[in-house]
Amino acid sequence: MVRDAIFLADRYEVIEKIGSGGMADVYKGKDHKLNRLVAIKVLKKEFREDEEFVRKFKYEAQNAAGLLHPNVVNVYDVGEDRGLYFMVMELVDGITLKEYIGKKGKLSSREAINIAIQMLQGIGAAHQAHIVHRDIKPQNIIISRDGKVKVTDFGIAKMVSSHTVANTAMGSVHYSSPEQARGRYSDTKSDIYSFGITLYEMVTGKVPFDGETTLEVAMKHLKEPIVPPTHYSPYIYHSLEMVILKCTQKEPERRYPDTDEVIEDLKRSLIEPDGDFVFIPPLATSTSEVINLDDDDWDKTRSFDDDFVDELDDDELVEDEDTAPGFGKKRGKKKGGRGEEINSSMNKVVKVLMIVLAVIIGIIIIVVAGNAIGGCTGPGTTDSSGKVKVPDVVGKSEDDAISALNKRNLGYQVVERAESEEYDEGIVFKQGTEAGKKVKKNTRIKIWISSGKKGENVTVPDVVGKDEDTATQELADLGFETTVDYQNSDEVEEGKVISTSPAAGTEAEKGSTVTVVVSKGEESKYVTIPDVVGMNVNDATAALTAAGINQSDITTTFESSETVGKNEVISQTPGSGKAPEGTTVSITVSTGPKDVSVTIPTNIVGNSQSNATSILQGAGLNVNVVYANSEDEDAGKVVKVSPGQGSKVKPGATITITVGQGSGTQGGNTNQ
């Protein structure tokens, strides 16, 4: 359990918990070595106990730490302390792209492109460093307060290698590529697919594939065609839609080869919103490009290629009897020979074609005649003016409304999904063209879908004791917005819900905010460490014990100082401020300036004048010689030293030696 105010690696101070993910908890911290705020991601207990996962986590985090880019949340350090495996990252003041989309509903084409280009610059930098992110999703994109977009969570990215397969992927299934869902090799194009799904969500407010289980969602990525974004957001740029569709092709070879090409097309989309410059390569087994059609294009499709037929002249459609293979009396001289076989086969083909042609002509005659006499007036046909009546779809479910419009050869456009005064979620509450009005076939009718009744009350579920992610998801499924507060608790396990506001069982309006209170674990007891630098060591010790720090938790070391007086505190660790009880406080005390004195040697007295002078000068001292009467045996020898032998003096000090001259000799003095 990570507690506030602890230090990791004797460098990173944990300040407070700011979030929790699937595999790690995130804390706001401070790097005391570089004096900056950081984010500290600590692996959850269940992952810390998996040695193989820890090994991969450390290896991959070290790789990510080498990735420095303005559009990437940079990883500064990775380490382990007391069984806690942690990653130190850049702390970004902002919100996730998921939260941003939630607040705005959907983004405009221009804003989405601006965010997308910054995302791609960060992803591209990783790809150039041979790192595949493999978990690109709005939750892993952060938008800072100054508008900078940063890609985060490279902690589960894998270095590009032949072993990078999707069966080790932990990315969200809503954004996973088809090859990841199949358990196959995933490379940089998997990131481009996930980016495309994220861009889809930016402009529509929803993911293209959803379901009740992860398996169901994964199968949709594999099998179902993607619904064009204009189905939900008709006003986005056409060229932007084509970029999204190219990024999200199910076959990797049909996507963009790299992020640079995506950026190039996105920039061009800003200049040519309606441009048709995005090329989607055809399937490997196809001879033509696969094209995604919107509602306006369906009336332009035909059962055969009219343009191709129009280009042919009569000679190409009907061959000359004498030259066409299988026709004419000159072909197939032998009965039962090759020519007769061809002739027989061609006759069968001609008969079939004639029957089909007759049926088509018959249908055309019936339709034309019916329109001429007004006999074909069913709900799905046109009148004599070529128009159809618009059905009343208000009050119908979305699927029933679409079906009713399609039966009359009409398209549709969902303008908005919003709360309704009258209708439940999923019901059409407004249509743009009034029922009964005649419009041209293939006209798109605007419809508005209810997202639920205004003011509808929902019972707040009991999520106490559940983990944070489960609780917030359960509330979101019922239509609530959520905010999370963290509190200490001696009774509720860390990461589990303590309470909600409004409380469980309370009726609250759908769409309103429920505050979820999550446990930070037992509350640590703190003491406030005073600043004792500059104080006398005795006064410092007294101040620390008065603050509640045990004498046994105070350690003292001594060192010399040229600037701090003797017995005064030079420094302390940790510095002043709050710290958990039991924290050891170390103080360093001055012993004053270093001792640089010189000791007068003890072999001066009794030595000759010249020897004594040499010894003293060798010790860095000056010598003053005086002479005095002495016994004859002491003549020429030192009989006295001032200061005395063994005394300590400063370097360069003058030492006076007295030299004996024997009785009756006149004394004097000299400097040497």
With a CB cutoff of 8 Å and minimum separation 6, the contacts of 53 are 47
Structural fold of domain 7-90: Phosphorylase Kinase; domain 1 (3.30.200)
Instruction: Indicate the domain borders of the chain.
Output: 7-90, 94-271, 387-453, 462-518, 526-590, 598-671
pLDDT at 345: 46
Query: Rounded to whole angstroms, what are the CA distances from 195 to 105, 230, 318?
Result: 19, 18, 53
Query: Rounded to whole angstroms, what are the CA distances from 131 to 125, 156, 169, 324, 367?
Result: 9, 10, 14, 63, 62
pLDDT at 670: 58
Is the pTM for the entire model greater than 0.85?
Answer: no
Domain spanning 387-453: CATH 3.30.10.20: yes
Check 25, 77, 135, 153 and give the catalytic one.
135
pLDDT at 360: 64
User: Residues in the chain with pLDDT < 70?
Assistant: 1, 3-4, 22, 60, 155-171, 284-385, 455, 524, 663-672
Element of type H or E holding 451: strand 444-453
State how far the Cα of 625 lies from the Cα of 615, in Å rounded to an integer.
14
pLDDT at 366: 52
| Tokens read off for 44 | 């959850």
In terms of residues, how long is the chain?
672
| Tokens read off for 2 | 């990570």
pLDDT at 508: 87
| Tokens read off for 24 | 């790690």
CA angle 332, 336, 341 (to 5 degrees): 70
State how far the Cα of 251 lies from the Cα of 668, in Å rounded to an integer.
112
pLDDT at 562: 84
pLDDT at 24: 81
Span 462-518 CATH architecture: 2-Layer Sandwich (3.30)
For 422, phi and psi rounded to 5 degrees?
-120, -35
Active site residue 295: no
SS3 content of the chain, % helix, strand, coil (to 5): 30, 25, 40
Domain spanning 94-271: CATH 1.10.510.10: yes
Domain 526-590: CATH class, spelled out: alpha beta
Domain 598-671: CATH class, spelled out: alpha beta
Tokens 């004859």 belong to 632
Closest CA to 20 of 492, 426, 485: 485
Say if CB 609 and CB 625 are below 8 A apart: yes
In three state form, how does the secondary structure of 501-519 look?
ECCCCCEEECCCEEEEEEE
pLDDT at 219: 92
Q: Judge if 387-453 and 462-518 fold alike in CATH terms.
A: yes
State how far the Cα of 188 lies from the Cα of 81, in Å rounded to an integer.
34
pLDDT at 312: 30
In one-letter notation, the amino acid at residue 192 is I
